[in-house]
Chain A
């Protein structure tokens, strides 16, 4: 069975600074996909960034980037120049290629201090 672990229940960062959220996963599969989702107080799940396991290059989306370490099964999210609107729960998620379902971590609550 696949598992996703987020070891940081809560994180905080000063506005405009950089923060890194950790995620590790466990799988015996070789073809899979990783995601970070953001859940603001409105509770809607918003895709932040995704990474294909076969790609060595780390994905980036504006201020969001990942550090994907396949051998270590680690997938951390870096948020640069943090903004107040980044405050939310962040969930790491995993999907085996073709499985059509996501496995989520427990989430990390990110607070941005003005």
Chain B
């Protein structure tokens, strides 16, 4: 029973390029969450999605960042025209339908580390 799968684990981009990070939730999970961890800091909430719907994007920067969770396939976090300040670890978490994070049923992936040169 595979856990939350994120890829790539490491991604290097030059300033101005696009970064795409993928997250496949655990089997049977329909809720996906993206968090960002800057160096030496805790994780910060970015966005919460269900299949084909963005539920809460209050933590997403207003520009250059977007997220989707299509009916088929993984959730994608897309960062356009990356800048050095986007360098961070991006974590995806998932939970089953009907569950909420405060039950403890939030499962994290191992993260994708983005480095912007």
Contacts and interface: CB of A to CB of B under 8 A. Distances in A.
Interface of A: 4, 32-33, 35, 42-47, 50, 52, 91, 93, 95, 97-98, 100-107
B45 A102 contact: yes
Contacts of A42: 110
A109 to B, nearest CB: 9
B90 to A, nearest CB: 11
Given A47-B106, A91-B43, A101 B59 contact: yes
A11 to B, nearest CB: 15
Interface string B30-49: 01010100001111110010
B92 to A, nearest CB: 10
Contacts of A50: 102, 104
Given A98-B100, A102-B101, A44 B43 contact: no
A96 to B, nearest CB: 9
Q: Which size bracket describes the interface of B in this complex? A: 20 to 34
B56 to A, nearest CB: 6
Given A33-B102, A43-B89, A100-B100, A91 B56 contact: no
B104 A103 contact: no
A103 to B, nearest CB: 7
- The list of the 6 closest CB pairs from A to B, nearest first, reads A104-B42, A33-B102, A45-B108, A101-B45, A44-B110, A104-B43
Interface in B42-93: 42-45, 48, 55-56, 58-59, 89, 91, 93
Given A45-B93, A106-B41, A101 B33 contact: yes
Nearest to B43: A104
Contacts of B40: 106-107
B81 to A, nearest CB: 26
11 contacts: A35-B104, A43-B89, A44-B110, A44-B111, A45-B43, A45-B91, A100-B56, A101-B56, A101-B59, A102-B35, A102-B43
